[in-house]
Amino acid sequence: MTLDTSACAAVSEARLQQRHDRLAAIGATPRGGVNRLALTDTDANAQAMLVDWALQRGFRCSRDEIGNLYIRREGTQSGLDPVFMGSHLDTQPTGGRFDGAYGVLAGFEVLEALADLDRPTRRPVEVVAWTNEEGSRFQPGCMGSAAFTGVFPLERMLAAKDRDGITAGEALAAIGRAMPLPARPMASVRPAAYLEAHIEQGPRLEAAGATIGVVSGIQGIRRLAVSVHGEEAHAGTTPRAVRRDAVSAAVAAIAALEALLHDTDDVVRFTVGRMEVAPNSPNTVPSRVDFSIDLRHPDADTLRTLGDRIEAVACEAARSRRCTAAVTQVSHVQPTVFDDATVALVREATRLLGFPSLEMPSGAGHDAMYLSRICPTAMVFVPCLGGVSHNEAESATASDLAAGTRVLAAALVALADA
């Protein structure tokens, strides 16, 4: 395999870092992280900054029906399907500076490097900022890439409500009014390939002393919502024997699920990240608890089998406290295996550039998960400090970020000239 690595040298570590600094200022938290929930004004401000940079370089910007933002550098054969690079600009409520932002800025840096070199590509190249990857404000996550790839219907995504009852469609319309962009229907373009750079969000690269993770695929994810129903009662007068205490039932259910999903090799990922209690008053026996379940595993069969046992275990635990539980599945994404040839491009670029690397699956979900269903897809990981992510302390070195961008550049050029 022969790869043109000339664009790699034009990747600017300093410029990339400066872009990260400026983007991280939008939604910056006092503890050094970022709070940039999807489709908020803050998210829109981040998009506006990126659009501003793009227009200065003569790239074209457009937006589709779910709010995905496209930045396009034309190819010599503009009628060909473009190659996409990208990730997302939204963050967790107390998120970091790199999760998502890096993939967008690395893609943008590749566009700039090509522009600096006046290096034409045969295919157009586009950087995409996918809408609401995190799924913090609106569920499910990866909303933009799910709608784009047809995994979920657009209408369902637009109807998703945040905790204040605002729909994604309403939030999107407000952003459209505040920052109008040319509209491009998502059905009007199909990518020839997709590359996504991302921090690892786990400890493996750092532990191995590797600079680049050549990502083989993504473990599967099932997201479920559990509603536990009991009955309100006075905390002072109601004997335990007649209580229908939803917190007690939820505690029993989560404890039972922890036992169910405990594996000695510690591969299963089980998280209850969200919990809402009603009426949430200290002296009322609670009548309702809603909690989220995030279950992940690299093996499709294991993920299905374990996930399928959750409802019975949760319901039985709730019954033991005279409550009921309703379990609904929010999403079930099978483990993803990336395209061999595209992963090989990333592997070869890494080898040519001389970076120590590790072949690995991704523990986290990414937009690449959905893109891989419609086009050849691969990802490039770089290490993050202590494997910490979804945390204001998230950190990555400028040198590693630039290294990942150089690998991205080499793979991109190969795909864009094909």
Sole binder of a copy of itself in the list 16, 389, 414, 416 (CB under 8 A): 389
Using the contact rule CB under 8 A, the part of the chain among 91-99, 116-124, 150-158, 304-312 near a copy of itself is: 91-99
In angstroms, give the least distance from the CB of 110 to a copy of itself. Answer: 25
Which CB, 13 or 206, lies closer to a copy of itself?
Answer: 206
Query: Cα Rg for the chain, rounded, in angstroms?
Result: 23
Size of the site for a copy of itself (CB under 8 A): 71
Which CB, 147 or 285, lies closer to a copy of itself?
Answer: 285
Asked if 339 contacts 389 with a C-beta cutoff of 8 angstroms, the reply is no
Q: Decide if residue 290 touches a copy of itself (CB under 8 A).
A: no
Q: Decide if residue 38 touches a copy of itself (CB under 8 A).
A: no
In angstroms, give the least distance from the CB of 143 to a copy of itself. Answer: 13
Which CB, 51 or 101, lies closer to a copy of itself?
Answer: 101
Cα–Cα distance for residue pair 238/248, rounded to 1 Å: 14
Q: Decide if residue 93 touches a copy of itself (CB under 8 A).
A: yes
Q: Decide if residue 202 touches a copy of itself (CB under 8 A).
A: yes
Q: Which residues inside 122-161 make contact with a copy of itself, applying CB under 8 A?
A: 134-136, 139, 141
Q: Decide if residue 103 touches a copy of itself (CB under 8 A).
A: no
Q: Which residues inside 222-281 make contact with a copy of itself, applying CB under 8 A?
A: 223, 231-242, 245, 247-248, 251-252, 254-255, 258, 262, 266, 268-281
Using the contact rule CB under 8 A, the part of the chain among 40-48, 199-207, 303-311, 400-408 near a copy of itself is: 199-207
Q: Which residues inside 318-347 make contact with a copy of itself, applying CB under 8 A?
A: none
Which CB, 108 or 138, lies closer to a copy of itself?
Answer: 138
Which CB, 38 or 111, lies closer to a copy of itself?
Answer: 38
Sole binder of a copy of itself in the list 40, 145, 149, 219 (CB under 8 A): 219
Q: Decide if residue 80 touches a copy of itself (CB under 8 A).
A: no
Beta bridge partners of 69: 63, 129
Using the contact rule CB under 8 A, the part of the chain among 47-55, 167-175, 351-359, 390-398 near a copy of itself is: 390-398
